[in-house]
């Protein structure tokens, strides 16, 4: 997997101080995508998991990690993303995990494959759905278009319904 970027600290990619990993590669090709270069799986630099984990360990202000892209949960990236989250939690067990995905939670659940189910177990908050230009709204917090939802993943799974986080 390649990564399109990494922020040591951010407050605009989820609640609280967070590190942000942008993975490379996305199959959705949404019109109006603001990160078109990161749609290529060859874009960016090789993902060095240990280097990123070391950076996270060195920063005590962080409350969580956000995985964005590109598409973290496509079949090409999901396995490495799950391994990364698990390894982050070994060193920072209280970390809160946000993930941005162009897939909806329904699409992810319907895959019904082991690695996607593991991803859903590890993620606390999923901002789901493709970017839709006609629904673009710059006033929205933490998302680009109004079709996208900010979901409490564990409640969505355990209660088998859509549970959005009110911000
Ligand atoms: S899901 Fe995100 S990265 Fe992928 S094409 Fe759509 S806006 Fe761009």
> What domains are there in the chain, each with its CATH number?
2-159 (3.20.20.70)
Q: What is the C-alpha separation between 42 and 60, in angstroms, rounded?
A: 32
Condensed to tens digits (0 to 9), the pLDDT of residues 18-40 reads: 999 999 999 999 999 989 999 99
% pLDDT > 70, the chain:
100
% pLDDT > 90, the chain:
97
- Output the average pLDDT for the chain: 97
Could you identify the atom of ligand 1 that is nearest to the CA of residue 70?
3
Q: What 3 state SS string does 12-38 have?
A: CCCCCCEEEEEECCCCCCCCCCCCHHH
Does the CB atom of residue 29 touch ligand 1 within 6 A?
yes
Distance 33 CA to ligand 1 centre (A): 5
Q: Which residues pair with 167 in a beta bridge?
A: none
Most informative mutation of 39, 72, 126 for ligand 1 (most atoms within 8 A of CB):
39
Band of residue 167 on the pLDDT scale cut at 50, 70, 90: confident
Among residues 135, 153, 152, the alpha carbon closest in space to that of 144 is found at 135
Distance 69 CA to ligand 1 centre (A): 7
pLDDT of residue 82: 98
DSSP H helical segments within the chain, as ranges? 49-57, 78-91, 105-111, 114-122, 153-159
Q: What is the mean pLDDT of residues 35-55?
A: 97
Answer whether residue 166 shows pLDDT above 90: no
Distance 60 CA to ligand 1 centre (A): 31
Q: Are strands 2-10 and 18-23 parallel, antiparallel or unpaired?
A: antiparallel
Does the CB atom of residue 69 touch ligand 1 within 6 A?
yes
**The dihedral sign for the CA sequence 154, 114, 87, 56:** negative
Could you identify the atom of ligand 1 that is nearest to the CA of residue 102?
1
pTM: 0.97
Does the CB atom of residue 71 touch ligand 1 within 6 A?
yes
Q: What is the mean pLDDT of residues 130-158?
A: 97
Q: Which range among 33-37, 70-74, 105-109, 157-161 shows the weakest confidence by mean pLDDT?
A: 33-37
With b meaning 16 or more CB within 10 Å and e meaning fewer, what string describes 104-123?
bbeebeebeeeebebbbebb
Distance 68 CA to ligand 1 centre (A): 10
Could you identify the atom of ligand 1 that is nearest to the CA of residue 36?
8
| Residue 144 vs residues 38, 93, 101, 130, 138: alpha-carbon distances, Å | 16, 30, 12, 9, 7
Distance 58 CA to ligand 1 centre (A): 30
Condensed to tens digits (0 to 9), the pLDDT of residues 81-125 reads: 999 999 999 999 999 999 999 999 999 999 999 999 999 999 999
- Copy the structure tokens of residue 98: 């946000």
């Amino acid at each position: 997997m390649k990564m399109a970027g990494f922020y040591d600290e951010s407050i605009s990619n989820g609640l609280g101080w967070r590190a942000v990993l942008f993975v490379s590669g996305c199959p959705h090709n949404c019109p109006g995508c603001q990160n078109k270069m990161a749609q290529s799986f060859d874009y960016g630099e090789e993902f060095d998991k240990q280097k990123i984990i070391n950076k996270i360990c060195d920063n005590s202000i962080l409350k969580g990690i956000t995985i964005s892209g590109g598409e973290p949960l496509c079949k090409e990236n999901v396995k490495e993303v799950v391994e990364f989250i698990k390894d982050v939690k070994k060193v920072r067990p209280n970390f809160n995990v946000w993930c941005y995905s162009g897939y909806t939670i329904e699409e992810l659940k319907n895959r019904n494959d082991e690695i996607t189910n593991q991803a859903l177990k590890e993620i606390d908050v999923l901002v789901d759905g493709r970017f839709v230009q006609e629904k673009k709204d710059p006033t929205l917090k933490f998302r680009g278009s109004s079709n996208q939802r900010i979901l409490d993943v564990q409640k969505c799974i355990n209660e088998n319904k859509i549970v959005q986080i009110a911000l």
